[in-house]
Amino acid sequence: MPLKASHALPPKSRLGQNFLHDHAAIERIVDALGPLDQRTVVEIGPGRGAITDLLATRAERLIAVEVDPALAAALRERFAMTQAQIMQPRVEIVEQDVLTFDFAAASRQIGQPLLVVGNLPYYITSPILLHLAASVVASEPSPLDAAVLMVQREVADRVTAQPETRDYGLLTVLCALHGIATPLFTLPPDAFSPPPEVHSTVFRWRFAPRFQALDLDAASFSRLLKSAFAQKRKTLSNNLRAAGYTAAHIAQALHQTSTPPQARAEELSLDQFAALHHALTAAQ
């Protein structure tokens, strides 16, 4: 049976399939990756290939990871034809859940840090961000250079928030720990087909992990952050009490780091959290 062209396949909302059709936005996303002629790009969720087509003309090599078998097959057929003409297999369509994709292994195989791009499936935005962060921590040197990602506007607001603002939280500090996130631009729902219910924002995440500079163990520091932000309305001190630290232990660590006793987690920068972590660990 012949394959259906990707546009003949009905979108699957359970896979977050909202296809981008704003050509200016596609150009801006690919431009935001910088020069690509000597780079390998991994695209998360290529879908019907809106961004993939432009990436394929610019990148030295492209790995597109798509979980939907029908879309992956349609893309594979399309690029196989193009590549047969130019005799240079540069585009690889991988049918896989991106949450199981081994970025570190791909980077090792290619011998350079990867660039990542994607109009993300919104139902798994946070797991994808955490998977990228974990890939950066797990291997040295970093297998990832930068990512340009489209996410729900509210998530981008949280990722790129400043301390003491409503959106500042666990996701902000975790992303800051792994690099620098900068918002680029926002699109309305009608830039997509079918339109999602939310606005979408593209942000760039330049990976520059700070664990070594701040002398932090990734696992225990992540545990502290999760405890600190566990309940937004509670003070930092009360959240740490709930996580099992004694009142005296917390008071001493807050004093040592000049943190006010009534401070909430959203008032602390990454560096202040690192200092607090060291004080709590030293006082144990």
Q: Which is nearer to ligand SAM, 65 or 146 (CB)?
A: 65
For residues 224 to 263, the per-residue mask of contacts with ligand SAM, x marking binding by CB under 6 A and - elsewhere, is ----------------------------------------
18 touches ligand SAM (CB under 6 A): yes
Q: Which is nearer to ligand SAM, 67 or 177 (CB)?
A: 67
Site for ligand SAM in 86-105 (CB under 6 A): 97-99
Q: Confirm if 128 and 120 have CB atoms less than 8 A apart.
A: yes
Q: Which is nearer to ligand SAM, 70 or 218 (CB)?
A: 70
Q: Confirm if 56 and 62 have CB atoms less than 8 A apart.
A: yes
For residues 40 to 69, the per-residue mask of contacts with ligand SAM, x marking binding by CB under 6 A and - elsewhere, is ----xxxxx-xx-------------xxxx-
* Distance (Å, whole) CA 117 – CA 150: 8
The sign of the CA dihedral 115, 215, 241, 164 is: negative
19 touches ligand SAM (CB under 6 A): yes
Part in contact with ligand SAM (CB under 6 A); list of ranges 39-47, 134-142, 203-211, 222-230: 39-47
Q: Which is nearer to ligand SAM, 196 or 209 (CB)?
A: 196
Q: Which is nearer to ligand SAM, 36 or 124 (CB)?
A: 124
Among 20, 106, 144, 276, indicate the residue that binds ligand SAM (CB under 6 A).
20
145 touches ligand SAM (CB under 6 A): no
* Distance (Å, whole) CA 57 – CA 78: 14
- The minimum distance between CB 44 and ligand SAM, in angstroms, equals 6
- Give residues in contact with ligand SAM (CB under 6 A): 15-20, 44-48, 50-51, 65-68, 71, 97-99, 119, 121, 124
